[in-house]
Amino acid sequence: MDNSRDNAPLAVALEHMTGPSRGSVTWLNSSTLDVTLDAGCFIHILEAQAGEPRKDLIARLHRVGDSYEIEATAGRSVWVNGNPITASHLKHGDTIEFGETGPLCRARFYTEHSPVRNTVSDILSDIGKYLRVSREPPVRRAIRAFSALFGRLSHETSILFRITVLIAILGFGLLAYQQQQLNKNLKQSIENTASQLDSVATAMVNAQKEALRPSDLSELRDNLEQRVLSNVTRLEELELLSKASSRIIAETSSAVAFLQGVYGFRENDGNRMLRQIVNPDGLPLFSPRGRPLLSLEGDGPLVELQFTGTGFVVGHEGVLITNRHVALPWEQSVAAGAIATKGVEPVMIKFIAYLPNETTGVPVELIQASESSDLAILRYEGGSEALLGLRLAENPPNSGDEVIVMGYPTGLRSMLAQSGVDFIYELQESKNTGFWSVASRLAEKGYIAPLASRGIVGQVTPTAIVYDAETTHGGSGGPVLDINGDVVAVNAAILPEYGGSNLGVPISKVRDLLEQAAIK
């Protein structure tokens, strides 16, 4: 096998490390290119033209095999890896500085094995190289290096890395706070102990001076009995409430479905789907800003946008209730709205539901979506024939009533968090962590199960139920149950600016939509 051929560059680019173009990339694709530098230190790289040299020409790039040779213009200064040059053959990672105060660039050679993202070691190596070769004053160089390091770690690393760093910072902060509270509590405990000892000593002296009378003992016994009886009653009420919540969750969870889907974009007047543009080797192409190039032509991968949500079974006709923004996810997507203006329309590619205790997902389709409320009706095929739908409450709840919200907040992540270390390890070993395969594996192992949270109703209006049960994205479309297990609302929106309050669509709106769709 010819490894040298496999490692041959598919593309060459200059990555701008400093200057007005910092953070952008210029792709090199012509045999000869002119590099000009204007008074604002802005680099222009254009295809060379016959005739007089361009104004402000500082260097010229000549294609040599799979690389480029840089040639400095007479009388102009160019440095490669910190050394002045008149001509130099570029290699991957070379740093190029244009002019005495000009910007710094880096040569990048992309092969089919090049990583999609820069690793942390790559970023640290780049910053180190900048500190070594830059000729700026030390203080300015250090400030720019720190700014670049923070910016690149914030934007170029993976989301998982950023989350890990954030969790670590929060963990250290929490540890420091806990230590401070521990010291404070220890000090308070010592002071309380001294005070308690002093009180005990005082009480002993008083007891020696005055003995208790029989009537005093009787009164004290009666008070203690009343307190014990009151505490027993409260514990019994709490136990009954806890058992009721556990019973409701156990009885209703099997009817709460995890919804998973993907949609794409089709041309308005045809059947062609929006796809990514690929090179002859089948690799996706990107713009200089790192965005994938899209087109209705070709046979590249489809443009697909993934989403998850929650729904619940009603009746006996294989019907699910969810939010309109779950059934029609592109209506609230900024990205989908921008693409839809370019002569294409969103279409559902795949939409399935996973019911607890079922090992496979079932296809779902939209029957009807409300035009006035955030509600939609889906029909599913297959699943357990004995599955009973949830009961719909006859009356709305009252302010102060307790409710239970069921759903799949954060989608796959919450179920993975509950699946345990062994299951995560199996996924890592299989290296099959795709959007669909993870959900399928979770279902096979019996890990598809909704989360439940309790809260209190804060406000009831004809158009919304406000409650404080904890939930987040992915829980949209889940049922809001009263203490009898009846659905009083459909979870729809989060209001973090109001202390974590959430909005639900009243069950009366669900009844109206079912009546419009002629579903009992």
Q: By the 8 A CB rule, do 465 and 480 touch? A: yes
pLDDT of 209 strictly over 50:
no
* Domain count for the chain: 2
Q: Enter the DSSP assignment of 329.
A: G
168: in domain:
no
- Please report which confidence band the pLDDT of residue 423 belongs to, taking 50, 70 and 90 as the band edges: confident
Token readout for 55 is: 């104004």
pLDDT single digits (tens) 261-292: 999 899 888 889 988 888 888 888 888 877 78
507: in domain:
yes
Q: By the 8 A CB rule, do 335 and 346 touch? A: no
pLDDT of 196 strictly over 90:
no
pLDDT of 235 strictly over 50:
no
CA distances from 421 to 142, 149, 416, 425 (A): 42, 33, 9, 6
Range 76-80, long-range pairs (CB < 8 A, 24+ positions): 79/133, 79/135
pLDDT single digits (tens) 479-501: 999 989 999 999 987 765 555 67
User: Of 49-53, 85-89, 286-290, which has the strongest mean pLDDT?
Assistant: 85-89
Tell me which of 93, 114, 135 is where a domain ends.
114
283 closest CA partner among 114, 30, 63, 91: 114
Segment among 19-28, 169-178, 193-202 with least mean pLDDT: 193-202
- Please report which confidence band the pLDDT of residue 383 belongs to, taking 50, 70 and 90 as the band edges: low
- Please report which confidence band the pLDDT of residue 370 belongs to, taking 50, 70 and 90 as the band edges: very high
469 closest CA partner among 501, 505, 506: 501
Q: By the 8 A CB rule, do 404 and 504 touch? A: no
180: in domain:
no
pLDDT single digits (tens) 408-417: 987 888 788 7
Which pLDDT does position 197 carry in this prediction? Answer: 32
Angle (deg, nearest 10), helices 138-155 and 159-209: 90
User: Of 240-249, 301-310, 338-347, which has the strongest mean pLDDT?
Assistant: 301-310
Pairwise CA distance, residues 342 & 232, whole Å = 68
- Please report which confidence band the pLDDT of residue 509 belongs to, taking 50, 70 and 90 as the band edges: very high
Which pLDDT does position 487 carry in this prediction? Answer: 96
Both ends of the chain: CA-CA distance in Å?
Answer: 66
156 CB-near residues (< 8 Å, 6+ apart): 117, 118, 123
| Number of neighbours of residue 445 by Cβ within 10 angstroms | 15
CA distances from 375 to 87, 288, 370, 464 (A): 67, 41, 5, 12
In the numeric block, the tokens 């539901």 are attached to 353
Which pLDDT does position 200 carry in this prediction? Answer: 32
pLDDT of 353 strictly over 60:
yes
User: Are 257 and 109 part of one and the same domain?
Assistant: no
Pairwise CA distance, residues 230 & 208, whole Å = 33
User: Are 255 and 106 part of one and the same domain?
Assistant: no
CATH number at residue 89: 2.60.200.20
pLDDT single digits (tens) 161-194: 667 777 877 877 788 888 888 777 766 654 543 3
409: in domain:
yes
pLDDT of 230 strictly over 80:
no
pTM above 0.95, yes or no: no
Which pLDDT does position 480 carry in this prediction? Answer: 95
In the numeric block, the tokens 């096979």 are attached to 444
User: Are 109 and 254 part of one and the same domain?
Assistant: no
Tell me which of 114, 146, 180 is where a domain ends.
114
* E-only strand ranges, 330-486: 344-354, 362-369, 376-380, 402-407, 451-460, 465-467, 479-481
Higher-pLDDT residue of 79, 131: 79
Segment 115-142 shows an average pLDDT of 64
Helix H, strand E, coil C: the string for 48-116 is: CCCCCCCCCEEEEEEEECCEEEEEECCCCCEEECCEECCEEECCCCCEEEECCCCCEEEEEEECCCCCC
- If you average pLDDT over every residue of the chain, what do you get? 78
197: in domain:
no
153: in domain:
no
In the numeric block, the tokens 């990048």 are attached to 108
Q: Enter the DSSP assignment of 255.
A: G
Residue numbers of the domain that contains 308: 250-269+302-516
Chain centre distance of CA 345: 25
User: Of 70-74, 349-353, 470-474, which has the strongest mean pLDDT?
Assistant: 349-353
Token readout for 172 is: 């250290």
> How many percent of the chain have pLDDT more than 90?
28
507 closest CA partner among 380, 403, 410: 403
152: in domain:
no
- Please report which confidence band the pLDDT of residue 134 belongs to, taking 50, 70 and 90 as the band edges: low
pLDDT single digits (tens) 312-334: 999 887 899 999 999 999 988 76
55 CB-near residues (< 8 Å, 6+ apart): 36
CA distances from 517 to 177, 311, 371, 378, 434 (A): 55, 17, 13, 11, 36
CATH number at residue 508: 2.40.10.120
CA count, 13 A, side-chain hemisphere, 332: 11
343: in domain:
yes
Q: By the 8 A CB rule, do 439 and 412 touch? A: yes
DSSP string of 485-505, one letter each residue: S-EEEEEEEEEGGGTTEEEEE
Tell me which of 66, 96, 114 is where a domain ends.
114
The CA radius of gyration of the chain, in Å to the nearest whole number, is 33
- Please report which confidence band the pLDDT of residue 152 belongs to, taking 50, 70 and 90 as the band edges: low
Pairwise CA distance, residues 329 & 306, whole Å = 9
Q: What is the identity of the amino acid at 366?
A: L
Which pLDDT does position 493 carry in this prediction? Answer: 76
Q: By the 8 A CB rule, do 344 and 296 touch? A: yes
